[in-house]
A and B are shown apart, each in its own frame.
Chain A
Amino acid sequence: MNSKFSYERYSRQTLLKGFGETGQEKLLRAKVLVIGAGGLGCPALQYLAAAGVGTIGIVDNDTVSLSNLHRQPLYTTADIGLFKSETAAKKLRELNPEISFHVYNERLTSSNALEIMAPFDIIIDGSDNFATRYLVNDACVLLDKPLVFGAVSQFEGQIAVFNFHSSDKSPAVNYRDLFPRPPKENEVLNCAEAGVLGVLPGIIGTMQASETIKLITGIGKPLINCLLTFNALNNQFYEISLKPNQDTRSLIPATKEDFESMNYEWLCAAERSPREIDINRFDELIADKDTILIDVRESHELPIVTEFKHQRIPMSILKQAMIKTDAGTIVVFCQSGSRSLAAAEWLLGLSDQTRNVYSLKGGILQWINQHQKKETV
């Protein structure tokens, strides 16, 4: 650290015993990839950028929506509809212009994960679904990279450091040693279904940043081969030790080719079930430039929708039409919401699918009804 600017910026942590300028130099040389710039990823990113981690990667292909803001205060109301990865990087550059940011505005899949993850020293999992969590875990084992895991549900969070080889030569544990196989469809509810206290991912994501800084600088006792649970309601922490599970090794792809042939979305079938969305979310997606909307009603069906831009591809020809689009999100709608749900299921069944497919619950009739009500109020 030669510049006075850097010295001042990090002076309060370089003062710390055991940290010093050596610790700061280690942070500046470190490369950390944060997967998901949501509830966990935002606080992790903010503290890593503030602490001076020299190279930070951000992977996320989602856009900011109103229902994100209660737990992702890095974003503002004005950011709704903008890409999270780009928006986060812009704000973090303002926080610390000395850092090099790498933005991956794409969904992590088995075809791009190894290439994206390879240049980084430590991976932070801040994703929000099991498909990505198993994919990231397996990729970390294959690439032999430490994984700082965090996950939340309602009022509780979990934090762990996986796949880290300690100097005592104890074998490194990974997520599959804890949960060998992903849960089946609907076995575990996600945040959208079960809810989450807004501050909770803030706490857990900040702890992921803290564990990452400890791993890089070599201070303290990180949660290596341990799972820590925190309950925000009663402030209880509970730490358990993990051990390798011989049966799970065979579940992890052993080669790059095996990994790339894995379909994690399919493995976690719950993530492949089309989600029905309400009118508010539908209206958010109307404004999203990466979303296409498809009316799957037959051509004679009324009313004709003129309120927003969409394509009309009736169910009877949808299968022949084979939606060829780069859009990250497809939203289908029909009269009452049942045919569009079937259409969404079919679209999800297409091979090499990585995009989101949603069906408007209640159909266009309910949508029109609700908007007419709003106008008369």
Chain B
Amino acid sequence: MAVNIIIFGQLTDITGEQNLVVSDVNDTDQLVAKLNKMFPAIVGAKFVIAVNKQVVSENTILENNSTIALLPPFSGG
């Protein structure tokens, strides 16, 4: 099972890519743990997770081909 990740803002400075495919994750907690391993600099970074365009605040089950967006806060104006 694989999910598509879209990364926004300065998080792309950490991942180097705006789009990633991550496999073998069943829920958002597992996804975050896997991202933390792949990109140690992402540990502690502030962002919200949206699963299929719906923001989630608790651990959420992922389905094959789900699209997950990682959105950091912006302050600039």
Contact = CB atoms under 8 A, between A and B. Distances in A.
A190 B75 contact: yes
A39 B76 contact: yes
Interface in A169-221: 178-179, 183, 187-191, 194, 196, 201
Helix, strand, loop or mixed for chain B's interface? loop
Contacts of B21: none
Contacts of A178: 48, 55, 73
Given A179-B46, A187-B45, A194-B10, A152 B71 contact: no
Interface size class of B (residues with CB under 8 A): 20 to 34
A188 B77 contact: no
Nearest to B48: A178
Given A128-B75, A152-B74, A188-B75, A241 B55 contact: yes
B77 A39 contact: yes
A232 to B, nearest CB: 12
Given A178-B48, A238-B6, A240-B69, A157 B74 contact: yes
Nearest to A189: B10
Contacts, number: 92
A130 B73 contact: yes
A312 to B, nearest CB: 36
Interface in A205-249: 227, 229, 231, 234, 238-243, 245, 247
Contacts of B50: 240
Given A153-B9, A189-B10, A238 B77 contact: no
Contact of A153 (B18, B48, B76): B76
Given A156-B8, A178-B48, A189-B10, A151 B54 contact: no
A273 interface: no
B77 A126 contact: yes
A153 B10 contact: yes
Interface in B1-25: 6, 8-10, 18
B41 to A, nearest CB: 12
B74 A158 contact: yes
Nearest to B47: A179
A239 B48 contact: no
Contacts of B76: 39, 128, 151-153, 190-191, 194, 196, 201
Nearest to B76: A191
Interface in A240-268: 240-243, 245, 247
Contacts of B10: 153-154, 188-189, 194
A41 interface: yes
A129 interface: yes
A152 B77 contact: yes
Interface in B28-57: 44-46, 48, 50, 53-55, 57
A38 interface: yes
Interface in A117-163: 125-130, 133, 150-154, 156-158
A38 B46 contact: no
Max count, chain A CB within 10 A of own CB: residue among B10, B50, B74, B77: B77
A363 B75 CA distance: 29
Nearest to A240: B50
Interface of B: 6, 8-10, 18, 44-46, 48, 50, 53-55, 57, 69, 71-77
Interface of A: 36, 38-41, 125-130, 133, 150-154, 156-158, 178-179, 183, 187-191, 194, 196, 201, 227, 229, 231, 234, 238-243, 245, 247
19 contacts: A39-B76, A39-B77, A40-B77, A41-B77, A128-B75, A128-B77, A133-B75, A153-B72, A156-B8, A157-B74, A178-B55, A179-B46, A187-B45, A189-B10, A190-B75, A194-B10, A201-B76, A234-B18, A238-B53
Given A178-B48, A240-B53, 5 more contacts: A127-B77, A129-B75, A133-B75, A194-B10, A231-B8
